[in-house]
């Protein structure tokens, strides 16, 4: 995602980095076991140099509930540490970004926003679609939906019916104690054969073993992150005692985690979120580690705007992304997305990628400007606010 004012040429000397907060109301609230969100506060970054500009999205949420990162923390980490580490550097490929930022521990979503912007610039500069630069092979990716906790089961059933009618290939529902067995039972009564999974976002402990075993009767494709957000060991013990495949999301922070989880038998499936693992370079490593161990992966979502969504689509074209992801149409989230065209899903539940260079999507810069509530540009060590 790059708007070259002049024909751009990597290597690019990074002259300034701009952070923007945009606010976008969700078409429908989204509720997980850790809370409900009605509107997103999204941190977008641009990197400018030698007359060009490239965009990235930081997927950190409004509060540190999914993981330790959140928008205001990420903003500071980028402004005070990551941007200064990149400014003045000459970078010719996305893979080079991580080394400059490695002195900063973790803060993966903040790092990914910057690294992914450089990958997008590299793709554009090489005249390649981002998905090809990443090593993708599919022209069409399979889409599922993640449906939050609703006020009533009937509302959930209605939502599932709408998504199935639209063609989505897999339904994932959020669960928590008190919104699990009976809800899944009701769904299975209505749709005995659909591809169905659930996501607990760490809402259970091993004390719930018998309860979780009862979910086996629903023949779920997977149960996502049932236990602690930072755990493999107890997930491995749980996996031995339930038939349903465990999918890890929160616990997998990098390729070494994927390796450890696979070797321990902590999961049979992994959800890859490019922000959670710190950028495309690490996401590719996770993909490869999983592929070599026979663990299928799929692309998770973080209620992204079009920028992050376009990046997720590109990543999903890699060969081991063999299960439908949580990458769905713009209109499920936003009245108007910030990219053109908006992300559209076919009636077979797929998104197609094109042969155009970069992400294949254009930015609605006027709309982004209108949605912006905060902006800060960092140049060398000096900080300018405006
Ligand atoms: O656990 O996958 C998750 C959204 C916010 C935080 C965590 C998760 C999710 C989703 C939504 O499930 C996926 C999406 O539609 O973007
Ligand atoms: Mg999840």
Digit-coded pLDDT (tens) for 58-79: 999 999 999 999 999 999 999 9
Q: For residues 25 and 37, give the distance between their C-alpha atoms in angstroms, rounded to a whole number.
A: 9
Q: 366: CA distance to ligand 2 center in Å?
A: 33
- Does residue 249 have its Cβ closer than 6 Å to ligand 1? yes
Instruction: Give the ligand with the smallest distance to the CA of 252.
Output: 2
User: pLDDT confidence of 380, banded at 50, 70, 90?
Assistant: confident
| Closest protein CA for atom 1 of ligand 1 | 201
Q: Enumerate residues 6+ apart whose C-beta is below 8 A from 298.
A: 144, 269, 271, 272, 316, 321, 322, 323, 324, 325, 326
Structure tokens at 37: 């969100």
Q: For residues 199 and 30, give the distance between their C-alpha atoms in angstroms, rounded to a whole number.
A: 13
Q: 49: CA distance to ligand 1 center in Å?
A: 33
Q: By percentage, how much of the chain surpasses pLDDT 70? A: 96
| 273 included as an active-site residue | yes
- Does residue 326 have its Cβ closer than 6 Å to ligand 1? yes
Distances (CA, A) of 41 to 61, 72, 248: 7, 10, 26
338, 270, 319: which is closest to 299 by C-alpha?
A: 270
| Closest protein CA for atom 14 of ligand 1 | 301
- The whole-model pTM stands at 0.96
| 89 included as an active-site residue | no
- Does residue 250 have its Cβ closer than 6 Å to ligand 1? no
Q: 18: CA distance to ligand 1 center in Å?
A: 26
Q: Give the residue carrying structure tokens 């923007």.
A: 20
pLDDT tens figures, 264-280: 999 999 999 999 999 99
Q: 304: CA distance to ligand 1 center in Å?
A: 9
Q: Enumerate residues 6+ apart whose C-beta is below 8 A from 97.
A: 86, 91, 111, 114, 115, 118, 279, 281
Residue 12: its pLDDT value, please? 85
- Does residue 302 have its Cβ closer than 6 Å to ligand 1? yes
């Amino acid at each position: 995602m790059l708007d070259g004012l002049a024909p751009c040429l990597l290597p690019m000397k990074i002259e300034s980095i701009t952070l923007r907060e945009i606010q976008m109301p969700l078409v429908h609230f989204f509720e997980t076991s850790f809370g409900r969100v009605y509107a997103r506060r999204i941190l977008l970054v641009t990197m400018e140099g030698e007359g060009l500009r490239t965009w990235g999205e930081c997927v950190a949420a409004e509060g540190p509930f999914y993981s330790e990162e959140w928008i205001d923390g990420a903003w500071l980490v980028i402004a005070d540490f990551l941007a200064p580490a990149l400014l003045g550097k000459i970078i010719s490929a996305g893979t080079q970004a991580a080394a400059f930022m490695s002195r900063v521990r973790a803060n993966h979503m903040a790092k990914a926003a910057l690294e992914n912007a450089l990958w997008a610039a590299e793709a554009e500069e090489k005249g390649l679609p981002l998905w090809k630069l990443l090593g993708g092979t599919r022209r069409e990716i399979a889409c599922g939906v993640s449906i939050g906790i609703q006020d009533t089961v009937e509302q959930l059933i209605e939502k599932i019916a709408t998504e199935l009618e639209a063609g989505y290939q897999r339904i994932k529902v959020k669960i928590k104690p008190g919104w699990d067995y009976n809800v899944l039972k009701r769904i299975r009564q209505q749709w005995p054969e659909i591809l169905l999974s659930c996501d607990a976002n760490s809402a259970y402990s091993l004390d719930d073993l018998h309860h979780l075993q009862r979910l086996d009767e629903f023949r779920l494709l997977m149960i996502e992150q049932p236990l602690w957000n930072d755990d493999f060991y107890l997930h491995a013990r749980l996996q031995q005692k339930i038939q349903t495949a465990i999918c890890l999301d929160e616990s997998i922070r990098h390729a070494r985690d994927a390796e450890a989880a696979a070797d321990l038998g902590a999961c049979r499936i992994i959800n890859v979120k490019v922000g959670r693992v710190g950028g495309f370079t690490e996401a590719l490593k996770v993909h490869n580690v999983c592929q070599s161990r026979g663990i299928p992966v799929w692309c998770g979502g973080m209620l992204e705007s079009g920028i992050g969504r376009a990046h997720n689509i590109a990543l999903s074209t890699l060969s081991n992304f063999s299960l439908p992801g949580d990458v769905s149409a713009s209109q499920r989230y936003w009245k108007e997305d910030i990219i053109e065209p908006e992300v559209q899903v076919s009636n077979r539940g797929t998104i197609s990628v094109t042969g155009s260079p970069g992400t294949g999507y254009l930015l609605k810069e006027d709309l982004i400007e209108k949605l912006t509530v905060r902006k800060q540009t960092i140049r060398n060590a000096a900080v300018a606010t405006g």
